[in-house]
Amino acid sequence: MSLLFKSRQSGAQQHQIGLLQKLLMFFTSHFRQCIASFGEIIRTPLASVMTIAVLGLSITLPGTLYVLVKNLNNISADTQQAAEISVFLKQQASDADIQQLIKRIRTWPEIESLTFVSADDALEEFRRLSGFGDAVDYLDSNPLPNVLLVYPSDKFGTPATAKTLLDKLIQEREVESGKLDIEWLERLHAILAIANELVTMIALLLFIAVILIVGNTIRLNIFNKRSEILVMKLVGATDSFIQRPFLYTGFWYGFLGGIMAWITIAILLWWMSSNIEDILALYNQDFDLAGMSFSTLMSMLGISIFMGLAGSAISVSRYVSQIEPR
């Protein structure tokens, strides 16, 4: 395109080329610049490696925390004890009534399983474990009620749903009262909610810092190429043409940083998993560090690329236009 000379033709208009071919040329030109930017990173690895490492590590920290929190979430979801409901039955309910009740509620979708602990069994257990066995013998009658231990199914294991289930159980004719041991579960959930928010906040702060760091690296790149940019402007390069290689550099920083984060997170989790499993074995807990899902891996890479591009875009839009031949 020539602004001043109508009859003058330039590169892309030289031949009567079709739209498809123009598009193809556009993409090959971009592809070439993209590869060229990659080549430059490879050729001057020292400066690039530091920025890529910062990018990678800044994703590693929230990424690892994310995996740990996700696993804790899984534990709390898996732990049925958490939402074990003790249902105390009325004294006057007969054995037949109780069998009826069990039969009825066993079919509820909310209930995974249930155990019946008869008053006699409970008293026997108390006698054995408490050390007050002789005292029990002085009692005229068994003061303990019959108890049903109800374990909610996975979907109804949260404190809120377990509470609803409890209310529903109390409605039953044979039920005197019920007790849900959810305090520690509620606490765990609250802690997990805080942990989730903390991870998000740490991630956000880190991401802002990283965008600024990438921006600074690209700014230095731009000033290192000052003379080249001046010459390019003298021979008619537009700002966007000059900006493109720097944006591709930002893209590559992000891409390589993301790959590095994958590797470091894998190493960290592998290293931590043996320790954590040792500790949790003491508590009879099974802690299987869930690896990252495909979509998590992809979003980590996406975030990393976004940060590389964003940092680069900030610098490029500010500094390329400032360099003008005089």
Partner 1 sequence: MIKFEEVSKTYPGGHLALSKVNFHVAPGEMVFLTGHSGAGKSTLLKLISLMERPSVGRVYINGHDLSRITRRDVAYVRRDIGMIFQNHQLLMDKTVFDNVALPLVIEGYSRKQIYARVHAALDRVGLLHKQNNPPATLSGGEQQRVGIARAVVNRPPIILADEPTGNLDPALSLEIIRLFEAFNKAGASVFIATHDLGLIARMHYRTLTLKGGQMINDGLTETPGVQA
Structure tokens at 308: 């590389």
11 forms part of the interface with partner 1 (CB under 8 A): yes
CB of 65 to partner 1, least distance (A): 44
DSSP string, 76-112: HHH-SGGG-EEEEEPTT--HHHHHHHHHHHHT-TTEE
| Beta strands, E only, the chain | 85-89, 111-117, 147-152, 175-180
* CB closer to partner 1 out of 19 and 234: 234
Sole window of 11-19, 45-53, 117-125, 187-195 interacting with partner 1 (rule: CB under 8 A): 11-19
Place of tokens 């003379």: 227
From the list 10-18, 131-139, 263-271, 310-318, the region that binds partner 1 by CB under 8 A is: 10-18
Contact 84, 149 (CB under 8 A): yes
Residue whose pair of structure tokens reads 């590797």 in the numeric block = 263
Closer to partner 1 by Cβ: residue 31 or 132: 31
Buried b (16+ CB within 10 A) or exposed e, 54-64: bbbbbbbbbbb
Select the residue interacting with partner 1 from 47, 208, 231, 281 (CB under 8 A).
231
Contact mark string toward partner 1, 233..252, x via CB under 8 A: xxxxxxx-x-----------
Residue among 103 and 326 whose Cβ is closer to partner 1:
326
- The DSSP output letter for 114 is E
Measured in residues, the chain has a length of 326
Q: Does residue number 43 form part of the binding site for partner 1 (CB under 8 A)?
A: no
C-beta of 26 vs 184, nearer to partner 1: 26
Q: Does 25 bind partner 1 (CB under 8 A)?
A: yes
Q: Which residues contribute to the site for partner 1 (CB under 8 A)? A: 1-5, 8, 10-12, 14, 25, 29, 227-228, 230-239, 241, 324-326
